[in-house]
Amino acid sequence: MTLTNLHEQLGVYLVLAAFLFATGVYGLVRRRTLIGMLIAGELIFAAASLNLMALNRFVAPDPAVGQIFVLFIMGLAAAEVAIALSIVIAVYRNYRSVNAKDLSDLNG
Amino acid sequence: MTGFPGSEAIVAGIFLVAVATTVAGALIAALTTRIIRSVCGLALCCVGLAGLYYFLHSPFLALMEILIYVGAVCVTIVFAIMLAEPEESAAQEKRGTVWLGSAVGLVLGGAIFWGLARLGLAGPWSVPATRVTDGSVPALGVALLTTYSMAFELISLVLLVAILGALVIARTGRTQP
């Protein structure tokens, strides 16, 4: 493992993807608003995409498959963000807040 | 690639810049208190990821990452922030809950990072003997229109339904003029 061919090593990408995933989980636990949780979820999506791309580049026999998979992940993430944000807007209209703590109508 | 003096060092430097951008963006997205800075961190992280995708021999996905995430997802989140004003006020919460939340998040994140990094570094990854395609943009297009044509059509349907659903959900409860 030398410094000059760091971009040709699988481990670097996998460790980076693990870091992104851990950051996303930390944000998901820590954030108190719905939009903050959504941003942390996007970090987790990014970690999964990076992991797939790294394994696709170094291990897979057909390098087109992983790229198409990540392309579909991006499309689904865009759809998910659109739906989730419209739900956030609807929640804000009804509760005047997007704090996760305030959404406790069913709390007995 | 050969012949230019110091080209390897330049490539390594650009790779390190991409890695640093990704890490810094992820940290900003997860740690700042103001939510608008968090979105900017997400955009920065996605720019760094696009650079990493370029190093992973897929320039098409690097462009798509910038186009979809920075151009569409982050801008949509900024619109939602302007509409919903999700400011996290630290004074509302008791200090004990804050510390407990941070500790749980740190332990969880640290355990996940340690386990995944260990698995990724230890695993015996076998390099394939032959590559079926070269993974270039023409190969990507051929695979999208032959093997994955059904999924390609289905995701357009999913996006259409998502747009209509977002419109329907966001419209309800709106006062009529």
- CATH number of B22's domain: 1.20.120.1200
Instruction: Specify the amino acid at residue A51.
Output: N
Q: Kindly state whether residue A66 falls inside one of the protein's structural domains.
A: yes
Does some domain include residue B14? yes
| Final residue before a domain boundary, out of B33, B58, B89 | B89
Tens of each residue's pLDDT in chain B, 177 residues: 556 788 888 888 999 999 999 999 999 999 988 889 999 999 999 999 999 999 998 999 999 999 999 999 999 999 999 888 766 665 566 777 778 888 888 999 999 999 988 888 887 888 877 888 887 889 899 999 999 999 999 999 999 999 999 988 888 766 655
**B112 found inside a domain:** no
Contact B101 A79 (CB under 8 A): no
Structure tokens at A71: 């392309």
Kindly determine whether residue B61 and residue A90, on different chains, have CB atoms separated by under 8 Å: no
Q: What angle do CA B120, B122, B127 make, to 5 degrees?
A: 75
Q: DSSP string of B66-107?
A: IIIIIIIIHHHHHHHHHHH-----TTSS-HHHHHHHHHHHHH
Inside any domain, residue B57: yes
Task: Name the residue facing A87 among B72, B144, B169 (closest C-beta).
Answer: B169
CB contact under 8 A, A71 and B64: yes
Alpha-helical regions (H) of chain A: 10-30, 34-58, 63-95
The A residues from 64 to 103 touching B (CB cutoff 8 Å) are 64-65, 67-68, 70-72, 74-83, 85-90, 92-94, 98-99
Q: Is B77 on the interface with A (CB under 8 A)?
A: yes
Tally of domains within chain B? 2
Q: Is residue A102 part of a domain?
A: no
Query: B82 and B20 share a domain?
Result: yes
Distances (CA, A) of A11 to A8, A86, B65: 9, 39, 22
B20 CB near a chain A CB, below 8 Å?
no
Smallest Cα–Cα separation from B89: which of A93, A95, A101?
A101
- Whether residue A64 lies inside any domain: the answer is yes
Number of domains, chain A: 1
CB B77 within 8 A of CB A35: yes
Confidence of residue A84 (pLDDT cuts 50, 70, 90): very high
Number of neighbours of residue B13 by Cβ within 10 angstroms: 12
Domain termination residue (choose one: B89, B111, B146) = B89
**Residue B115 CB contacts under 8 Å (≥ 6 apart), including other chains:** none
Question: Which domain, by its residues, includes B172?
Answer: 135-177
CATH number of the domain residue A45 falls in? 1.10.287.3510
In a domain, A101, yes or no: no
Interchain proximity A72–B155, CB inside 8 Å: yes
B150 with B82, same domain?
no
Quote the ipTM score: 0.90
Domain of A28 in residue numbering reads as 9-95
Of the three residues B89, B107, B122, the one that is the final residue of a domain is B89
Residue with tokens 């760091």: A6
CB-nearest to B139 from A29, A31, A64 is: A64
